[in-house]
Amino acid sequence: MTELFDSARMADTKYVGRRWEDMDTDVLVKIFKELNMIQLAPVSRVCRSWRMACSDPFIWNTLDLGHLQSNFIQTTAPPYIWVDERSDRRLTRILRMAMALSFGNVTYMIFHFNLYMKDDHLSYISERSPYLRRLVMPAWNRITKVGICQAIRRWENLESLTMPGIPHPPYIMEEISRSCKNFSQLKVMGTFDVNFAFAITVNLPKLKVLSLRCSIITKQALLLILDSMDSLEVLNISHCLLLETLRRPVHSELDQAILNKGSRIREFFHCQSNSCTTCKRMIEDEGLMRWYRYEDWFWRRDEVSSLDLGDYGKLFDENCVNRLTAS
Ligand SMILES: [Zn+2]
C-alpha cells in the first residue's frame, strides 16, 4: 500500500495543475487495482480515461468469485440440488457487472465448489470473455452437455480446466480436443474411474498436468493413466482414496509397481498416510470430501503449484459478499 500511495503522490506532484482525467494510465490502474468490483463500477463512470483504466487486463486478468456461493438444498433427483431464485439473480447481476467492467480482459476465472450456475450464465460468460485460458469450476450440476460444449467451443485459448468428477466425461474431453489446441492441464475433483481415464487417454494424449487430489480413484484408472500418457509431466494423486474398483470398494495401496511407473513422471505427487490431516478427512468423508466442513482456503490448495489457487482475489472480496447479502 505504501508503494501505491507513493505512486499516487508522485503522480500528483508530476501533474500539478492538470486534470484528474489526464492522470497517467499506469498510475490509475495501480490505484484501481486496490478496489473491488463494486467500488470500481462508479469509478468507471467518471470519464473515458478512467473507464479505460478500470478495464485494464492488469486488474481483470483473474476474476476470482471464490467467495460466492449459491443458496441451495440437496434433492434426490438430478441435478441433485435446488437453487433459490435470489442466488441466480445475484449471480446474474455480478456477472453483468464483471463482464461490463472487464471488457473481455478476463483470462482466468475461479468459481466456488458450491456455486451452481445455469447454461444462461455460462453462455453469457463465454460470449464476453472469449480469451479465457484457465477455468476453475468444481460444480456444474445445472449445466447441460450442450451448455458446456458451446462454452468450450468459444474458448479456443483454454489451457487449464478444474472440473467435478462427472459420470460420463467423454463428450467434454472430445470437445476440448476439438476446440482447445493448447489445452495442457486438467484437475478433477470427485470420482475418477476407468471411463474417465479412458476418455482422457483417447482425447487428450498430450496432456501435461493432471491433478486428482482428494478424489476417489480406481486402480485400473490410475494404471491406464500411468501406462498410456507418455506426455504427462505432472501427476498429483495426493490424499486420494485408491479403490480396486468402484463396484468393489476395497481400499488399495500404492504398490511398488505403481510407484515404479509413477517415478517415470517428472513430478509425481502422492500421499496415503495415517498422519496426514487431509488423508484423515478423506477417510472420514468416505472419499467425497465435504469441503464446506473445513477451512475457507482448504479446497483451493493443490500440491501442483500451477493449480494452487492461492489467496482470494481483490475484485470480489468479503466486502462484496456482505454488500450483496445486505441489498
Ligand atoms: Zn495425505
Backbone angles phi, psi at 13, to 5 degrees: -60, -45
| Coil, helix or strand at residue 276 | coil
Q: Which DSSP state fits 20? A: G
Give the pLDDT score at 9. Answer: 52
CA of 160 to the centre of ligand 1 (A): 24
Name residues whose C-beta falls within 8 Å of residue 212's C-beta, 6 or more positions apart in sequence: 187, 188, 192, 235, 236, 237, 240
Q: How far is the CA of 12 from the centre of ligand 1 (A)?
A: 53
Entry pTM? 0.91
CA dist 81 and 165 (Å) reads 16
> 314 CA distance to ligand 1 centroid (A)?
30
pLDDT of residue 79: 87
Ligand 1 centre distance from Cα of residue 279 (Å): 4
Burial class (CB within 10 angstroms; exposed 0-12, middle 13-18, buried 19+) of 289 = buried
Four-way CATH pick for 60-326: 3.40.50.300, 2.40.50.200, 3.80.10.10, 3.40.50.620: 3.80.10.10
pLDDT at 5: 46
pLDDT at 16: 55
- Extents of the domains making up the chain: 60-326
- Give the full edge-to-edge strand order of the sheet including 185-189: 62-65, 108-111, 134-136, 160-164, 185-189, 209-211, 234-238, 267-271
At residue 2, the pLDDT reads 46
d(CA 63, CA 286): 32
CA 235, CA 265: separation in Å to the nearest integer?
7
CA of 281 to the centre of ligand 1 (A): 9
How far, in Å, from the CA of 108 to the mean position of ligand 1? 28
| CA of residue 49 to ligand 1 center, whole Å | 50
* pLDDT value for 198: 97
Bridge partner list, 110? 64, 136
Looking only at Cα atoms, what is the longest distance across the chain?
A: 77
Under a CB-based contact definition with an 8 Å cutoff, are residues 191 and 215 in contact?
yes
Tens-binned pLDDT, residue by residue, of the chain (327 aa): 445 445 545 555 555 566 777 778 899 999 999 999 999 999 999 999 999 999 999 999 999 999 999 999 999 988 888 999 999 999 999 999 999 999 999 999 999 999 999 999 999 999 999 999 999 999 999 999 999 999 999 999 999 999 999 988 999 999 999 999 999 999 999 999 999 999 999 999 999 999 999 999 999 999 999 999 999 999 999 999 999 887 776 777 889 999 999 999 999 999 999 999 999 999 999 989 999 999 999 999 999 999 999 999 999 999 998 887 766
Q: How far is the CA of 283 from the centre of ligand 1 (A)?
A: 10
**Residue 258 half-sphere exposure toward CB, CA atoms < 13 A:** 18
Q: Looking at residue 34, what is its pLDDT?
A: 96
Q: Note the pLDDT of residue 3.
A: 52
* Residue where the block lists cell 478427512: 281
CA distances from 315 to 36, 59, 160 (A): 4, 8, 21
Distance 240 CA to ligand 1 centre (A): 8
Q: Facing residues of 267 across strands?
A: 234
Q: What is the DSSP letter of 251?
A: B
Distances in whole angstroms, Cα of residue 5 to Cα of each of 14, 44, 99, 159: 14, 20, 28, 36
**Ligand 1 centroid vs 239 CA: distance in angstroms?**
4
